[in-house]
């Protein structure tokens, strides 16, 4: 499997280049472009959160726990005193970091369902929901964020599969085929559940029509075509 540096570097570059194309087409603002690159880079680390002591797991669990604690405090800020809010923040963080995520670690194994397309699709849709309903972002940027997260995650899976092949020796490792999974018959119950959750998230998802119209807008592609090559610079005539 590819190491941490490879995953984060390739996901960052792939997301940056893809996002730059969309940005130059006028579909994203500069801040939105940066957010998409961050989402894609995080997606490139997402499948490795099933490794208990990996960098993505440690950092990811801490960040999510901190954000969850702050979000709960924000929701309750008008109802409790400062001391009570501080206690609520600490309790929320500890519950997430050492309760929920410890349970998560026990229930998952490396290259299990976390390395599957439906699971990563659920994570991407969760980001779409969080952006649109939680942070009140527009539908277009919310869908872009979710898709960039998914894109980065797929880059991760493909890298793992590529590193399972020895091109010089024309051989494959035993791990080949374990990173990129769509369905496994020996875990049929888990996968049916994942697809059911993913289907429900898609059915009740934020508006997709505006996002699709943005992608199909011919003006955007004309703008991109205009921005592909550098424009000629007219130098002043010094004679």
Contact status, residue 157 vs residue 46, Cβ threshold 8 Å = no
Angle at 177 between CA 171 and CA 183, to 5 degrees: 160
Domain boundaries, the chain: 1-50+112-238, 54-110
How far is Cα 132 from Cα 174, in angstroms, rounded to an integer? 41
How far is Cα 52 from Cα 174, in angstroms, rounded to an integer? 22
pTM above 0.95, yes or no: no
How far is Cα 132 from Cα 175, in angstroms, rounded to an integer? 38
Widest distance between CA atoms in the chain: 80
E strands, the chain, where? 165-166, 171-172
CA 111 centroid distance within chain: 17
Tell me: pLDDT of 64 over 70: no
What number is the average pLDDT over the span 43-64? 70
Each residue's pLDDT tens digit, 95-151: 888 887 776 666 555 556 778 899 999 999 999 998 899 888 999 999 999 999 999
Question: What stretch of H or E contains 79?
Answer: none
Each residue's pLDDT tens digit, 4-49: 788 888 999 999 999 999 999 999 999 999 999 988 988 888 887 7
Which band of pLDDT confidence, cut at 50, 70 and 90, is reported for residue 168?
A: very low
Cβ neighbours of 25 (radius 10 Å): 20
């Amino acid at each position: 499997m590819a190491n941490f540096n490879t995953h984060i570097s390739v996901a960052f570059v792939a997301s940056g280049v893809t996002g730059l194309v969309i940005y130059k087409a006028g579909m994203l603002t500069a801040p939105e472009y940066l957010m998409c690159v961050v989402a894609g880079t995080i997606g490139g680390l997402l499948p490795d959160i099933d490794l208990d002591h990996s960098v993505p797991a440690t950092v990811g669990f801490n960040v999510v726990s901190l954000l969850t604690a702050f979000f709960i405090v924000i929701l309750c800020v008008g109802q409790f005193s400062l001391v009570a809010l501080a206690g609520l923040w600490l309790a929320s963080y500890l519950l997430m970091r050492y309760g929920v995520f410890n349970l998560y670690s026990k229930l998952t194994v490396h290259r299990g369902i976390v390395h599957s397309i439906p699971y990563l699709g659920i994570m991407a849709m969760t980001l779409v929901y969080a952006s649109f309903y939680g942070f009140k972002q527009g539908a277009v940027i919310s869908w872009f964020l979710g898709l960039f997260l998914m894109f980065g995650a797929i880059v991760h899976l493909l890298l793992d599969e590529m590193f399972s092949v020895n091109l010089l020796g024309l051989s494959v490792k035993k791990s080949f085929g374990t990173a990129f999974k769509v369905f496994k018959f020996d875990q049929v119950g888990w996968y049916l559940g994942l697809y059911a959750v993913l289907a429900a998230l898609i059915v009740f998802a934020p508006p997709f029509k505006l996002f699709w119209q943005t992608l199909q807008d011919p003006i955007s592609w004309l703008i991109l075509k205009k921005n592909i090559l550098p424009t000629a610079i007219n130098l002043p005539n010094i004679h």
